[in-house]
Amino acid sequence: MLSPTMTASRPSTGQQLSIFDAPSPSGSEDRTHHALDEASWVDHIHAWLPEPEALFAELAALAGWEQRSRWMFTRTVIEPRLTAEFPSLADATIVEVRRIGEQLSQRYGVPYDSAWLNLYRDHNDSTGWHADRPASLCPTAVVPVLSLGATRRFLLRPSQGGRSKVLVVKAGDLVVMGGRCQRDWVHAVPKETVRAGARISVNFGSSSQACDG
- Determine which of 12-16, 41-45, 105-109, 112-116 has the lowest per-residue pLDDT on average: 12-16
172 in a structural domain: yes
pLDDT 10s digits, 143-154:
999 999 999 999
Q: What Å distances lie between residue 128 and 131, 132, 162, CA to CA?
A: 10, 12, 15
20 in a structural domain: no
Q: Which residues form the domain of 133? A: 30-205
Domain-located, residue 95? yes
Position 120 in a domain? yes
**Residue 211 confidence (pLDDT):** 62
Q: What is the CATH number of the domain that holds 47?
A: 2.60.120.590
How many structural domains does the chain have? 1
Q: Tell me, yes or no, whether 13 lies in a domain.
A: no
Q: Give the three-class secondary structure for 103.
A: helix
Q: How do residues 37-74 score in pLDDT, each as one tens digit?
A: 999 999 999 999 999 999 999 999 999 999 988 776 67
pTM given for the model: 0.83
Rounding to the nearest 10 degrees, give the CA dihedral for residues 148, 56, 88, 109: -40
